Amino acid sequence: MTITIDNVAKTFQAHSALNGVSMEVSDGAFVALLGPSGSGKTTLLRIIAGLEFPDQGSVFFDGADVHGQPVGRRGVGFVFQHYALFRHMTVFENIAFGLRVRPRRARPSRSGIRDKVHELLKLIQLEGLEHRYPSQLSGGQRQRVALARALAIEPKVLLLDEPFGALDARVRQSLRRWLRRLHEQIHVTSVFVTHDQEEALELADRVVVMNHGKIEQQGPPDEVFHRPANAFVMEFLGNVNLFHGRIEQGKGVFGPLVLDRNGNGDLRNGDSRAARLMVRPHDLELLDHANGQPSLEAKVLRVQAAGALVRVELEAQGQFLQADISHERWRELRVAPGESVFVSPRESKVIHCVGSRGSRCGLVTCGSAAMLTPHLGQRPSASGITSVLQVRQRTVSMGPA
Ligand code: ADP
Ligand code: MG
């Protein structure tokens, strides 16, 4: 089933929850709606389900407007963050529920229901637990039962609203892989809501990044990660080091770092304007001495080597920076906390904004540093950096398994 959302808007008591959202979920796709809390993800999912109605715009299922079609007729399966299992019913009864409440003509026979429940128990890998009550299951098992219950009615669309939000990090990760495999088996068109960028990037074929009731960018995971459309997407999809500087002679000047465009976009039309530089921690190169390449001196604050990469926390001109480097590179550098290193961005994004209050912003991919041409008069001074870094911690929610 293909879902088309056309220019949907929704306001709650003068508060705009969705503001002109258009997107398409193609048949059999697995799409993630990703955005911070309050960005309108749940509202959009509820509108697709028919639990909420848009003030403006339309929703189409396979090209047909579903306006006015009640939830029960839309053929959607819904899984929520908080297990909506019936506590007084066994696993078997919970899964069978959607079939048992059908009108008599549409209801399968007793043996038909039994076969369907057993087929689903096998799919969610909980065979043998059908007589348990929800209180006798772990959080991860309950969410699998919730999924089986949603699938029992053979929905045309599966809608999942932060289904793993209340589970601990390890359980989340294994359920994520499991759900991905399950989707490859059953191919039901699915929309998955999450505020966790890792979850969205790992699970979905397509990621829709939302903010303040609008879509900031949509595309395949690698595209939104490597080619963010704007500063919000860049910051939301991972940690970034943030520098403030200017554009001069078509180059980004951030203290001693001078950057040239090497990808999308153009810096020339931003001349003499304030600009921001964003560098992912893995794109910040560390050097043990200034090797002629424009770089910024920084002091090592802390080294965290327990991971696939070594996380080096640094301070440059009173500001915090983070570099993620390989263990091999770290062994070569051998710098102790308190000692100096030089940092240089391998790849970065320069953002410059024009228009009233920066209404139009360009995001330009820049490569390793290059000096400004001599006729500019003087070399830029290190004091050009006015402020540095925002590291967004990864969202890992802890809770009962
Ligand atoms: P998300 O799921 O991305 O966290 P929501 O779709 O739940 O966001 O909410 C978007 C905005 O709409 C929020 O500011 C929220 O407070 C508001 N909102 C959602 N539902 C209602 C409601 N029933 N009444 C009033 N405001 C609501
Ligand atoms: Mg929500």
Ligand 1 centre distance from Cα of residue 340 (Å): 47
Domain hosting 148: range is 3-227
Best probe residue, ligand 1, of 8, 10, 43 (max atoms within 8 Å of C-beta): 43
Residue 181 vs residues 187, 220, 305: alpha-carbon distances, Å: 10, 18, 32
Domain boundary among 176, 207, 227: 227
**Rounded Cα gap, residues 233 and 211, in angstroms:** 9
Same domain assignment for residues 150 and 273: no
Instruction: Say yes or no: 273 and 375 in one domain.
Output: yes
Q: Residue 190: inside a domain, yes or no?
A: yes
Q: Please give the DSSP secondary-structure letter assigned to residue 393.
A: P
The parts of the chain modelled with pLDDT lower than 50 are 358, 372-401
Q: Determine, yes or no, domain membership for 266.
A: yes
44 C-alpha to ligand 1 centroid (Å):
10
Residue 395 in any domain: the answer is no
pLDDT of the residue at 29? 97
Question: Does residue 264 share a domain with residue 193?
Answer: no
Any ligand 1 atom below 6 A from CB of 165: no
Q: Which residues contact 60 (CB under 8 A, 6 or more apart)?
A: 2, 3, 4, 6, 66
Query: Which strands sit side by side in the sheet containing 76-79, from one edge to the other?
Result: 76-79, 157-161, 189-194, 30-34, 206-211, 214-219
The reply to whether 182 and 266 lie within a common domain is no
Inter-helix orientation angle 91-100/110-123, to 10°: 130
Does 232 fall in a domain? Answer: no
Same-domain check for residues 323 and 381? yes
Render pLDDT for 81-102 as a digit per residue (tens, 0 to 9): 876 799 999 999 999 999 999 8
> What is the CATH number for 13?
3.40.50.300
Report the number of distinct structural domains present in the chain. Answer: 2
Residue 399 is assigned to a structural domain of this protein: no
Domain check: are 157 and 30 in the same one?
yes
We report the CATH number of the domain holding residue 314 as: 2.40.50.100
146, 208: one domain: yes
Q: Of 176, 204, 227, at which residue does a domain stop?
A: 227
Q: Which atom of ligand 1 is nearest to the CA of 210?
A: 3
- How far is C-alpha 268 from the geometric centre of its chain's CA atoms? 31
Phi-psi region of 317 (alpha: psi -120 to 50; beta: other; left: phi over 0): left
Q: Residues 189, 261: one domain? A: no
Name the residue with the closest Cα to ligand 1, atom 7: 42
Q: Does ligand 1 lie within 6 Å of residue 17's CB atom? A: yes
Q: Does residue 125 sit within a domain?
A: yes
Which ligand sits closest to the CA of 52?
A: 1
Same domain, 159 and 243: no
Q: Please tell me whether residues 260 and 143 are part of one structural domain.
A: no
Q: Which ligand is nearest to the CA of 162?
A: 2
Burial (Cβ within 10 Å: 0-12, 13-18, ≥19) of residue 274: middle
The answer as to whether 398 is a domain residue is: no
Q: How many CA atoms lie within 13 A of 114 on its CB side?
A: 4
Examine the domain organization and report whether 267 and 134 are in the same domain.
no
- Domain stop point among 227, 257, 273: 227
Q: Are residues 222 and 260 in the same domain?
A: no
The answer to whether residue 22 sits within a structural domain is yes
- Closest to 33 measured CA to CA, from 155, 159, 184, 186: 159
Closest ligand to 17 CA? 1
Query: What pLDDT was estimated at residue 263?
Result: 67
Return the pLDDT at 267: 74
